[in-house]
Amino acid sequence: MDTFLQEKHHVLQRTVRAFCHREIIPIAGNIDKEARFPWEVQEKMARLGYFGIQVPAELGGAGMDTVSYITVIEEISRACAGLGLCVSVHNSVAVFPIMAFGSEAQKKKWIPSLARGEKIGAFCLTEPNAGSDASAIESTAIRDGDEYIINANKVFVTNGAIADTCLMFVRTDPDAGRRGISVVVVERGTKGFTVGEAEDLSGMRSNPVSSIRLQDCRVPVENLLGGEGRGLVIGLSALDTGRIGIAAQASGIALAALEETVKYAKQRRQFGVPIAKHQAIQMMIADMATQIDAARLLIYRAAVQKDRGNSFTQAAAMAKLYASEMSSRVTDMAVQVHGGYGYSKSYPVERYYRDARVTRIYEGTSEVHRMVIARGVLAE
């Protein structure tokens, strides 16, 4: 991947990898089993700047580029996808929209503590009746003097149970359809803010994905992000960035699966030879390696386009679509190469298989991505 990575990215990759080897990999299996968020690791990641990767130094971040961002997400996800999800969502769909659409005062208010990882961010769009169709949300923010009174019912909020600063998608104008949607930042602890039980998920179990309910929550109007009616613009722009992160997460999981598979295939013997000597196994390993690299090329392309300031919506959608489907195929092959042991929790590929699956669902399903991509292609 030397075509895209500079010396800086190699050093970054190595140092993040060393951190993950020491701090995350040893506990990854357990926190999945216990569905536990590892605060002790979060604190260390926060101190190293993983929660403000692209935030400028003046606001407490590391000021890095998008290629660096995906390098960090890929490495963390390689060790533990649930933590990769935490960092990806925090950086790309919580911090980024405040950076891109927030006023100077809003940035000063929220960004430094988010960038230093003292606070964790969340993106609250999905509702029971609004998934792929984000414009169908029913949550409301009704203006009352210099406050909004918010009533919201949000589900599947990544970082839900641990988030302090939540980007809440609400209707500020119930009659304006798509143009009536706005984003208001709501802080945990506000009266009327409650977090539901964490979802008992199939994968990503170290992340406490939860529902959040706001009941007559009073929030100052200064917490409105980017103006009334701008909600969908902010949401889509955040998801463009987020998708590069989810793609990198998917490739991180696949890289881990390939690594385990190669190790296992060299050591497991059947019919008198290591199974890596069987051509059928070699074919699977060749497909895994090739598809991983193809996905990474798409991801790097999207990241480089973003760093150059070019439009990257289409490139990000393709990277997310391909990488997430690749990750499902690759982790499936990883289980296959492991045979029965791959279906048991005593080998990590079982976890990778569960973790990879959801990358085809969140931040836009594969179907929605195909719609977006086709729209782009047909419009040309």
Partner 1 sequence: MNLHIIVCIKSVLLRVPKGRTIRTAESCELNPFDRPTLEAALWLRGRYGGSVTVLSMGPESGTSALYEAIALGADRSILICDPALAGSDTLATSTVLGAAIKTLKPFDLVFFGTRTSDSDTGHVGPQTAVQLGVPLASQVLSMALGESGLIAERKMDGVLEKVQVSLPAVITVHQTSYPPGDPPLSGIQTAFEEGTIEKWGLKELSLSPESAGEPGSPTRLLSMTPISRERKCRILTGSSEGRADKLLKILMDSGGIS
DSSP label of 284: H
- Residue 167 binding: pick among partner 1, ligand FAD, none (C-beta 5-8 Å cut-off by kind): none
Two structure tokens written together for 375? 């729209």
Stretch that binds ligand FAD, among 59-67, 183-191, 275-283, 364-372 (CB under 6 A): 364-372
Cα atoms found within 13 Å of the Cα of residue 18, Cβ hemisphere only: 6
For residues 195 and 200, give the distance between their C-alpha atoms in angstroms, rounded to a whole number. 15
**Residue 334 found at the interface with ligand FAD (CB under 6 A):** no
Establish whether 259 is a catalytic residue.
no
Q: Please report where in the chains the tokens 């406050």 appear, as a residue.
A: 147
**Residue 267 found at the interface with partner 1 (CB under 8 A):** no
- Write the CA distances from 331 to 11, 246, 368, integer angstroms: 28, 16, 23
**Residue 293 found at the interface with ligand FAD (CB under 6 A):** no
DSSP label of 94: I
Q: Please report where in the chains the tokens 């179907």 appear, as a residue.
A: 367
Work out how close the CB of 304 gets to ligand FAD at its nearest, in angstroms, rounded to a whole number. 26
Beta carbon nearer to ligand FAD, 1 or 361: 361
Two structure tokens written together for 112? 């430094």
For residues 312 and 299, give the distance between their C-alpha atoms in angstroms, rounded to a whole number. 11
| Closest-CA residue to 299 (of 286, 311, 285, 317) | 317
- Residue 232 binding: pick among partner 1, ligand FAD, none (C-beta 5-8 Å cut-off by kind): none
Work out how close the CB of 106 gets to partner 1 at its nearest, in angstroms, rounded to a whole number. 22
Q: Which of 58, 147, 363, 367 is catalytic?
A: 363
The residue from 92, 106, 158, 206 that contacts ligand FAD (CB under 6 A) is: 158
- Residue 14 binding: pick among ligand FAD, partner 1, none (C-beta 5-8 Å cut-off by kind): partner 1
The footprint of ligand FAD (CB under 6 A) covers 89, 123-126, 131-132, 156-158, 201, 204, 209, 358, 361-363, 365, 367-368
Residues annotated as part of the active site: 363
